[in-house]
């Protein structure tokens, strides 16, 4: 049934509206009359909600900002942590291409496993945004556990520092030690899609966008800090502080003072007391002592590629990088042997390209040759 006129729809008009007459609504909009949605109170409730739109809109905006902060923090920390962990993994597994493949395979596999567990019906963890804002702090112990596993991978597998890591054992250890952060990354992202969709009506696509932007920022920030010479331990505490800050922002908005401030204050206190510096010094001493006496360590420097330790022992200047001594200066006997082998193949060589460990000592010996240019 269709009714036209300036007075809207009433009686039979309601039946027509409920019956799904899209054409009726269009015609009525042309006539300029108001349209009453069946139910009687629609117009009044609409007017009432409009009155409180300003305060309600600002509350929703603040809620969404803190929620987006949680999503961005998940992405930021997960990629920053994986970048730092990959540096340790790359060092322990001898910068092997197969090791790189094992790392990323394990990363993606555990991320998928975390997402699968999060989708299970019996999984009730992080069912709300409030719960998620606290549970993301589990990233911090997960990072520490995974880093401990990576640095102890050779001991777990029974492979000495001077031995080549067998492929099958490498794959098995990589799968084992790369689980904590990767699993939580997949788990939290999937639960975030559910929690934000239910509580804030945010589509999973938008959750992915915000989390991906956070990951992008995390990758850029870690790269710049490493290039600037910052130690991995300091970068970790900074990213943990950012994660705690996102939790604090959301919890304080909800009125949970203690649960919001305690993690943030703990991170700031650790940075203020120099916990990162103490941690770095202990790690450097442990790595150096695998090859040389502890008292011979003189210092360290970090690049975006690796971390280098240096010192002098028995008249030689040593540089340690990763799981080996990168160079020892002077190393004349070894350099002379390498040069002799290559000159035997081409005695008239005048120009030389030196690549690999011991390059400085080799270059010094080459300069003693009369034909060297």
Evaluate whether 85 touches 143 at the Cβ level (below 8 Å).
yes
Element housing 98 (H / E): helix 97-119
| pLDDT (0 to 100) of residue 290 | 80
Q: What is the pLDDT of residues 211-222, one digit of tens each?
A: 999 999 999 999
Q: Which residue has the tokens 């350099």?
A: 335
234-277, pLDDT tens digit by residue? 999 999 999 999 888 888 777 776 777 888 888 889 988 989 89
DSSP one-letter code for 36: P
pLDDT in tens, 64-106: 777 888 899 999 999 999 999 998 888 787 777 788 888 889 9
With CA atoms as reference, report the closest residue to 246 among 114, 115, 140, 127: 140
The string of DSSP letters for 231-284 reads -HHHHHHHHHHHHHHHHHHHHHHTT-HHHHHHHHHHHHHHHHTTHHHHHHHHHH
Q: Which of 64, 67, 81 is nearest to 184 (CA)?
A: 81
CA distance 120 to 77: 25
Greatest mean pLDDT among 83-97, 157-171, 234-248, 337-351 lies in: 234-248
SS (H, E, C) 148-199: HHHHCHHHHHCCCCCCCCCHHHHHHHHHHHCHHHHHHHHHHHHHHHHHHHHH
What is the Cα 305 distance to its own chain's centre?
A: 18
The helix (H) or strand (E) run that includes residue 316 is: strand 316-321
Render pLDDT for 96-153 as a digit per residue (tens, 0 to 9). Answer: 778 888 888 999 999 999 999 988 766 666 667 888 888 899 999 999 999 999 988 8
- Show the tokens assigned to 117: 């567990």
CB 77 within 8 A of CB 138: no
Which sign does the torsion angle of CA 193, 105, 86, 152 carry? Answer: positive
pTM exceeding 0.85: no
Predicted confidence at residue 181, as pLDDT, reads 94
Q: How far apart are CA 32 and CA 35, in angstroms?
A: 9
Query: Which residues make beta-bridge pairs with 308?
Result: 301, 321
**All residues at 6 or more sequence positions from 191 whose CB lies less than 8 Å from its CB, including other chains:** 118, 123, 125, 126, 127, 132
Separation CA 84–CA 235 (nearest Å):
9
């Amino acid at each position: 049934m269709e009714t036209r006129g300036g007075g809207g729809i009433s009686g039979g008009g309601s039946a027509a509206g409920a019956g799904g007459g899209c054409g009726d609504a269009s015609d009525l909009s042309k006539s300029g009359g108001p349209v009453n949605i069946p139910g009687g109170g629609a117009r009044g409730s609409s007017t009432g909600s409009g009155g409180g739109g300003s305060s309600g809109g600002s509350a929703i905006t603040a809620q969404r900002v803190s929620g987006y902060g949680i999503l961005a923090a998940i992405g930021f920390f997960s990629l920053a942590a994986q970048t730092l962990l990959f540096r340790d993994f790359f060092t322990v597994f001898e910068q092997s291409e197969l090791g790189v493949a094992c790392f990323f395979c394990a990363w993606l596999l555990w991320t998928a496993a975390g997402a699968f567990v999060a989708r299970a019906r019996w999984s009730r963890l992080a069912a709300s945004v409030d719960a998620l804002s606290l549970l993301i702090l589990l990233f911090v112990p997960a990072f520490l556990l995974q880093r401990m596993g990576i640095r102890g991978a050779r001991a777990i597998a029974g492979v000495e520092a001077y031995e080549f890591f067998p492929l099958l054992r490498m794959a098995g250890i990589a799968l084992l030690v790369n689980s904590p952060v990767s699993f939580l990354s997949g788990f939290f992202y999937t639960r975030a899609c559910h929690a934000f969709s239910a509580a804030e009506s945010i589509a999973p696509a938008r959750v992915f966008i915000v989390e991906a932007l956070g990951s992008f920022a995390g990758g850029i920030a870690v790269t710049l800090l490493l290039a600037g010479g910052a130690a991995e331990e300091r970068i970790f505490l900074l990213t943990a502080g950012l994660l705690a800050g996102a939790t604090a922002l959301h919890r304080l908005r909800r009125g949970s003072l203690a649960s919001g401030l305690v993690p943030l204050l703990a991170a700031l206190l650790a940075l203020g007391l120099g916990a990162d510096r103490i941690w770095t010094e202990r790690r450097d001493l442990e790595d150096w002592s695998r090859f040389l006496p502890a008292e011979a360590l003189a210092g360290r420097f970090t690049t975006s590629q690796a971390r280098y330790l240096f010192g002098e022992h028995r008249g030689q200047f040593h540089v340690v990088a990763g799981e080996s001594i990168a160079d020892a200066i002077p190393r004349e006997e070894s350099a002379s042997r390498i040069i002799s082998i290559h000159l035997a193949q081409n005695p008239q060589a005048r120009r030389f390209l030196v690549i690999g460990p011991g390059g400085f000592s080799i270059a010094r010996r080459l300069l003693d040759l009369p034909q060297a240019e």
